[in-house]
Structure 1
Amino acid sequence: MSDANPHPATALPDPASALTPAPREAIRVENVTCAYGRNVVLRDVSLTVQTGEILVILGGSGCGKSTLLKHIIGLETPRSGKVYIDGQNLTDAQGAARRNILAGFGVAYQSGALFGSMTVLQNVMLPLQEYTPLDAPARELVARLKLRQVDLEQYADYLPSELSGGMQKRAAIARALALDPGILFLDEPSAGLDPITSGELDALIIRLSRVLGLTFVVVTHELASIYAIADRAIMLDKSVKGILAQGKPADLRDHATDPRVTRFFNRGAV
């Protein structure tokens, strides 16, 4: 009598892989060229950002970091190419469709861009007033919850001028969180901050990413912050008008062969 199994076993899926969702693109930049008149700042830049990733955009002065950010968030229109947010074409979107895409991400600018004549709470309530049908008590409740997420609830009734620089950055992040976006864009969040305050802000970014599952795109040149928060970094360079290198910051520091990358990551080293 044969012991052969007439029904060969089929491979079963790995339970661990079945529980782990496949990475999903939060942002796709396809062959984007950024130009002002005849001045081409960036040419044919392509990149993707996965959901939940913290991507840092870095590079020397004038390399196009802020220019690229403005084009990704729709403040500027690419000379050519497309930007997709959660699979939706922001570059070509118009009217209500564009408004819906814009409501899906938050932005905190380098200066904070808080309205000085309004309290911190009123600043955070602004996106809720603009984009939601919530009444005033509901807007206030949501805004206070966002301030709690950045440890500023007790400063809700302060004016921006009454806050420290680090607190203003946190308030700007709270406002960027108001609509529960899946993506946050931060422009030079550590600029002008002392090392301790900058480290606290880095810790906040990591906590928001890990606890809320947020995707971050952060423009910065601060090495300490780059090493602390970045899952991946892309380095822009004005001589190539695009991406010179990309990868984990420590790998770029330790294994880059391009001297421009080496100089950036080893500046200040003895």
Structure 2
Amino acid sequence: MDPAPIIRVEGLAAGFGDRILMKDVTFDVARGEIFMILGGSGSGKSTLLKNIIGLYEPLAGRVLIDGDDLVGTTGAARERILRKFGVSFQSGALFGSMTLLENIVLPLEAFTALPPDAIDLVARMKLSQVGLGGAEARMPAELSGGMKKRAAIARAMALDPKILFLDEPSAGLDPITSAELDQLLLRLSRELGVSFVIVTHELESIFGIGDRVVMLDGASKGIVAAGDPRELRDHSEHAWVRRFFHREVVNP
């Protein structure tokens, strides 16, 4: 097994103009693990994610994706790095005027030279992998929230990326559907060796499938804890970390 991390974030600073949201953020993501980004509201979880995937340009630092630095890279070299990962946003971002199959076909048509019959086969396989075999002709408006999440993951997997980034995948789902989604992510990680980076605040998911976490804190503008979430829950000496994991409210 390659010991080098699949993702390395080094000294990252993020913000907008003179407003610094976080600084000196450093962590690694191991190959094949389910890694989670945690924190309270406004701590910068989604901002960090968008800096890692290249939607925002960090104010400082490096983001290495499978050894290649995404920050400042342009043109064909940047495109090659972006092809290494897929992204599923909180809303799913499916195209409402397209069927599920057409949504999955879209990146395959745009970024591969496969013939149409091969593209159709790959798209159907991706839907089957997330439990949506037989739903190829359905429109996004016809789907439940959980099915939309699964379809978005299938599209993110279309180009066989090494990494999947998920932003609040359980948001808006009932507990049973959320648990089913967790089991899907766990299965994909084990069977395909995909590395997951997940922004979430769902404790059931964190303890159920998370291998390691980093916890952001808006006040300190950085990471306040990192490691196995169960160890942090049971042994952290940081008061805010304990309150987060135990859902403790501070009385006025």
What TM-score do you get using the length of structure 1 for normalisation?
0.90
Does residue 102 (structure 1) correspond to residue 82 (structure 2)? The answer is: yes
Aligned-partner residue type, residue 95 of structure 1: G
Match of 1:18 in 2: none
Does residue 209 (structure 1) correspond to residue 185 (structure 2)? The answer is: no
Does residue 91 (structure 1) correspond to residue 91 (structure 2)? The answer is: no
Q: Would you say how many aligned residue pairs link Structure 1 and Structure 2? A: 249
Does residue 242 (structure 1) correspond to residue 222 (structure 2)? The answer is: yes
Aligned-partner residue type, residue 139 of structure 1: I
Match of 2:44 in 1: 64
Q: Report how far residue 24 of structure 1 moved.
A: 2.5
Give matches, 1:68-79, under 5 Å. 68-79=48-59
- Distance (Å, rounded) in 1 between the aligned partners of 2:74 and 2:163: 20
- Distance (Å, rounded) in 1 between the aligned partners of 2:75 and 2:118: 27
Once the two structures are superposed, what CA deviation does each residue of 1:202-225 show, in whole Å capped at 9, x if it has no partner? 000000001111100000000001
Once the two structures are superposed, what CA deviation does each residue of 1:31-63 show, in whole Å capped at 9, x if it has no partner? 110010111111111111011011010010000
The correspondence for 1:40, drawn from 20, 25, 29, is: 20
Q: Report how far residue 226 of structure 1 moved.
A: 0.5
Q: Secondary structure at the match of 1:70?
A: helix
Q: Alignment RMSD, CA only?
A: 1.0
Give matches, 1:10-159, under 5 Å. 21-159=1-139
Match of 1:185 in 2: 165
Runs of 4+ in structure 1 over 2 Å off: 21-24
Q: Secondary structure at the match of 1:170?
A: helix
- Distance (Å, rounded) in 1 between the aligned partners of 2:4 and 2:190: 16
Q: Secondary structure at the match of 1:137?
A: helix
Q: Secondary structure at the match of 1:147?
A: helix
Match of 2:240 in 1: 260
Match of 1:251 in 2: 231
Q: Secondary structure at the match of 2:6?
A: strand
Aligned-partner residue type, residue 76 of structure 1: Y
- Distance (Å, rounded) in 1 between the aligned partners of 2:62 and 2:111: 25
- Distance (Å, rounded) in 2 between the aligned partners of 1:24 and 1:171: 31
- Structure 2 stretches lacking a partner, 5+ long: none
- Structure 1 stretches lacking a partner, 5+ long: 1-20
Q: Report how far residue 22 of structure 1 moved.
A: 4.7
Does residue 167 (structure 1) correspond to residue 176 (structure 2)? The answer is: no
Question: Cα 1:242–1:131, aligned 2, differ >3 Å: closer, same or farther?
Answer: same
Q: Secondary structure at the match of 1:28?
A: strand
Aligned-partner residue type, residue 126 of structure 1: L
Once the two structures are superposed, what CA deviation does each residue of 1:158-206 show, in whole Å capped at 9, x if it has no partner? 0001000000000000001000011000000000000000000000000
Deviates more, 1:134-143 or 1:187-196: 134-143
